Amino acid sequence: MPVSSAPQSASRPDAVREPGRRELNRAATRAAIIDAAISLVLEHGRDHVNVEQIAEHAGVSRRTFFNYFPGIDAALNAPTEDLLVKARQQIENRPADESVIDVVMQVFSSSVTSSYLQQCLELAAALDGHAEFLQYELMAWDEAESRFVTALQQRAPEGMPRIRLVVFVASVLASCRATINVWLGERHQGAAAIGAADSSRTHVPFAGAALTDADLINLKDQLLEAVKTVRDGYQDL
């Protein structure tokens, strides 16, 4: 009997269940709320947007908004949560014979998209270090840590203490988050210099140029370099 040469994933369900209509409707409502929150904050600034405006813009009630998010900053941070969930799912679907470090490098390189980064860059200009948003961002990365550890556990070398994997994952996530924030900060400063020309406006929308493919390649190179830096202390993974 011939043996298939296709790579085997670390976790392969017997059947993939298609989402039902209710799940699709919930996903569409959630996406509408997120889009409305980001759109209004980018247009008017964080301090000039409330839940009622977002709900109206999304075509839902105020109560429905709170069924999905505890507040505006949670909705604004949803794209980062979704990116980290997607990255964890990709870990589970990578070939079973890939090492921990190779999986991590491939997943982060493929998960970060230009549209996500453009959105982050514009929000950075609109939020300008808003404390509550930063709290939700930190929570998203912290919650991702335990999920990544669970997803990578079966790939760790046999007999390796769990604490080493936990520290490795925490180090990788921290280095990737720091790399993205520094990269965004450098571009935010350039855009702020352009937008600051009109100081009479209460809120100055993002004025920088759209990100290019070269920008995305540059960030991915920096992310890979950050993970390699962490890897130097984990050469047995």
Say if residue 161's pLDDT is above 80. Answer: yes
CA separation for the pair 215, 210 (Å, rounded): 10
Say if residue 197's pLDDT is above 60. Answer: no
CA separation for the pair 92, 230 (Å, rounded): 21
* Residue 105 confidence class, pLDDT cut points 50, 70, 90: confident
* Residue 189 confidence class, pLDDT cut points 50, 70, 90: low
Burial of residue 233 (CB within 10 Å: 0-12, 13-18, 19+) is exposed
Average pLDDT over residues 75-98: 91
Confidence (pLDDT) at 171: 92
Say if residues 84 and 144 touch (Cβ distance below 8 Å). Answer: yes
Confidence (pLDDT) at 202: 44
Confidence (pLDDT) at 20: 84
> How far, CA to CA in Å, does 198 sit from each of 59, 65, 204?
33, 34, 8
Look at residues 116, 123, 234, 223 and name the one whose alpha carbon lies nearest to residue 173.
Answer: 223
Residue 35 sits at the vertex; the CA angle it makes with 32 and 36, to the nearest 5 degrees, is 85
Say if residue 195's pLDDT is above 80. Answer: no
Domains defined for the chain, CATH in brackets: 20-70 (1.10.10.60), 77-231 (1.10.357)
Looking at 12-16, 20-24, 64-68, 214-218, which range is the least confident one? Answer: 12-16
Say if residue 154's pLDDT is above 60. Answer: yes
Look at residues 103, 219, 122 and name the one whose alpha carbon lies nearest to residue 172.
Answer: 103
- What average pLDDT does the structure give for the chain? 82
pTM of the model: 0.76
Confidence (pLDDT) at 236: 62
